[in-house]
Amino acid sequence: MTLPTFSPIRPANIEWQDNTPVASDYDDPYFSRQDGMAESQYVFLDGNQLTERFQAMGPDQYFVIGETGFGTGLNCLLAAQRFLQQAPQSARLHLVSVEKHPLRRDDLQNALSHWPALVALAETLLNEYPAPTPGLHRLQLHPRISLTLLYGDAEQLWPLFNHPVDAWFLDGFAPACNPDMWQPALFGQLARLSHPGTTLATFTAAGFVRRGLQEAGFKIEKRKGFGHKRHMLTGTRSSASPARQQALPTVVVVGAGLAGATTARALAERGCKVIVADPAGVATQASGNLAGVVYSTPSAHLTPQNRFYQQSYGHALRWLQRHGFPSSPQQGRLNGVIQHFVDDKQKDKLIQAMASGAWPEELLRPAGEEAAELVGGGYLQPAAWCQHLLDHPAITLIQRELAQMHEGEQSRAVFTDGSVIDADAIVLCTAGSTAQLPGLSWLPLKHIRGQVSYCRATEASRQWQQARCHGGYLTPAVNDRHCVGATFNLHNPDPRPTDEDDDENLAQLKTYLPARWQELGGSDIDIVERRVAFRCQSIDFLPLCGPMPVASENPHRPARGLYLNLAHGSRGITGTPLCADLIADLICGCPLPVDQQLVDALAPDRFIVRKRRKQPEWKP
- Looking at per-residue confidence, does 297 or 620 come out higher? 297
Are 463 and 603 found together in one domain?
Answer: no
> How far is Cα 34 from Cα 171, in angstroms, rounded to an integer?
17
> How far is Cα 128 from Cα 315, in angstroms, rounded to an integer?
9
User: Taking all residues of the chain, what is their mean pLDDT, rounded to a whole number?
Assistant: 92
Are 175 and 48 found together in one domain?
Answer: yes
277 within domain boundaries: no
Contact 428, 254 (CB under 8 A): yes
User: How high is the pLDDT of residue 616?
Assistant: 39
**Residue whose C-alpha is closest to residue 541's, from 514, 570, 520, 583:** 570
462 within domain boundaries: yes
State the pairing for strand pair 14-17/20-23: antiparallel
Give the helix ranges, DSSP H, for 3-73. 36-40, 50-55
393 within domain boundaries: no
Contact 373, 367 (CB under 8 A): yes
| Residue that is last in its domain, among 538, 570, 594 | 538
> How far is Cα 416 from Cα 403, in angstroms, rounded to an integer?
5
Q: Determine the 3-state secondary structure of 228 from DSSP.
A: coil
> How far is Cα 433 from Cα 490, in angstroms, rounded to an integer?
16
> How far is Cα 429 from Cα 576, in angstroms, rounded to an integer?
10
Q: Determine the 3-state secondary structure of 556 from DSSP.
A: coil
Segment 181-199, tens digit of pLDDT: 889 999 999 999 999 999 9
386 within domain boundaries: no
| CATH value at residue 160 | 3.40.50.150
- Going by pLDDT thresholds of 50, 70 and 90, the confidence category of residue 531 is very high
The sheet carrying 20-23 orders its strands as: 14-17, 20-23, 28-29
Q: Rounded to 5 degrees, what angle do the CA atoms 365, 367, 370 make?
A: 115
357 within domain boundaries: yes
**Residue whose C-alpha is closest to residue 486's, from 609, 475, 478, 476:** 475
Are 493 and 569 found together in one domain?
Answer: no
| CATH value at residue 553 | 3.50.50.60
> How far is Cα 4 from Cα 156, in angstroms, rounded to an integer?
6
Contact 477, 461 (CB under 8 A): yes
Are 87 and 176 found together in one domain?
Answer: yes
What's the mean pLDDT in 108-136?
96
Q: Look up the domain containing 337 and give its range.
A: 291-380
Contact 232, 225 (CB under 8 A): yes
Are 456 and 417 found together in one domain?
Answer: no
6 within domain boundaries: no
Asked if residue 613 has pLDDT above 60, the reply is no
| Residue that is last in its domain, among 514, 538, 562 | 538
Contact 452, 531 (CB under 8 A): yes
Reported residue count of the chain is: 620
| CATH value at residue 508 | 3.30.9.10
C-beta pairs of 54-59 under 8 Å, 24+ apart in sequence: 54/82, 54/83, 54/86, 54/87, 54/91, 55/86, 55/87, 56/242, 57/87, 57/88, 57/91, 57/242, 57/243, 58/88, 58/91, 58/242, 58/243, 58/245, 59/88, 59/90, 59/91
What's the mean pLDDT in 101-126?
95
Are 459 and 406 found together in one domain?
Answer: no
Are 321 and 173 found together in one domain?
Answer: no
Are 429 and 468 found together in one domain?
Answer: no
Are 128 and 232 found together in one domain?
Answer: yes
Contact 107, 73 (CB under 8 A): no
Are 363 and 494 found together in one domain?
Answer: no
| Residue that is last in its domain, among 245, 271, 300 | 245
Asked if residue 287 has pLDDT above 70, the reply is yes
Are 369 and 471 found together in one domain?
Answer: no
User: How high is the pLDDT of residue 549?
Assistant: 84
Count of domains observed in the chain: 4
What's the mean pLDDT in 59-83?
96
1 within domain boundaries: no
510 within domain boundaries: yes
- Going by pLDDT thresholds of 50, 70 and 90, the confidence category of residue 243 is low
- Looking at per-residue confidence, does 226 or 130 come out higher? 130
User: How high is the pLDDT of residue 620?
Assistant: 32
Are 436 and 453 found together in one domain?
Answer: no
Segment 201-225, tens digit of pLDDT: 999 999 999 999 999 999 999 999 9
Give the list of residues 6+ apart from residue 457 with CB closer than 8 angstroms, or none.
477, 480, 481, 482, 520
